[in-house]
Structure 1
Amino acid sequence: MDGTMAELQARLDQLLKEAARIAVALDRADGTVVGIPHYSVIEARAHELGRRLSRTVQARHMGELASHATRSVKCPECGTRCEVVPRSRSVTSIDGPLDFDEPMGHCPRCRRGFFPPPGGAGP
Structure 2
Amino acid sequence: MDATASELRKELGELLRRAAEVSVELDRAEGAAVGVPHYSAIEARAHELGRELSRRIQARRMGDLAAATSAAACPTCGDRCEPRRRRRRLASIDGPLEIDEPAAHCPRCRRGFFPPPGGAGPRRP
Provide TM-score, normalisation by structure 2.
0.89
Counterpart-to-counterpart distance in 1, 2:89 and 2:64: 16
Flag structure 2 segments of 5+ consecutive residues without an equivalent.
Answer: none
Counterpart-to-counterpart distance in 1, 2:74 and 2:114: 10
- The equivalent of 1:105 in structure 2 is 104
Q: What SS does structure 2 have at the residue aligned with 1:76?
A: coil
Deviations 1:54-97 (A, max 9, x none): 11111111111111111x22211222322211111111111111
- The equivalent of 2:23 in structure 1 is 23
Q: Give, as a single letter, the amino acid of the residue that structure 1 aligns with 2:52.
A: R
Matched residue pairs, number? 122
Identity of aligned residues (%): 64
Structure 1 residue 120, shift from structure 2 partner: 5.8
Counterpart-to-counterpart distance in 2, 1:73 and 1:4: 33
**Greater RCO (Cα-Cα under 8 Å, separation 6 or more):** 2
- Alignment of 1:48 with 2:48, yes or no, is yes
Provide TM-score, normalisation by structure 1.
0.90
- The equivalent of 2:90 in structure 1 is 91
Q: Give, as a single letter, the amino acid of the residue that structure 2 aligns with 1:23.
A: S
- The equivalent of 1:13 in structure 2 is 13
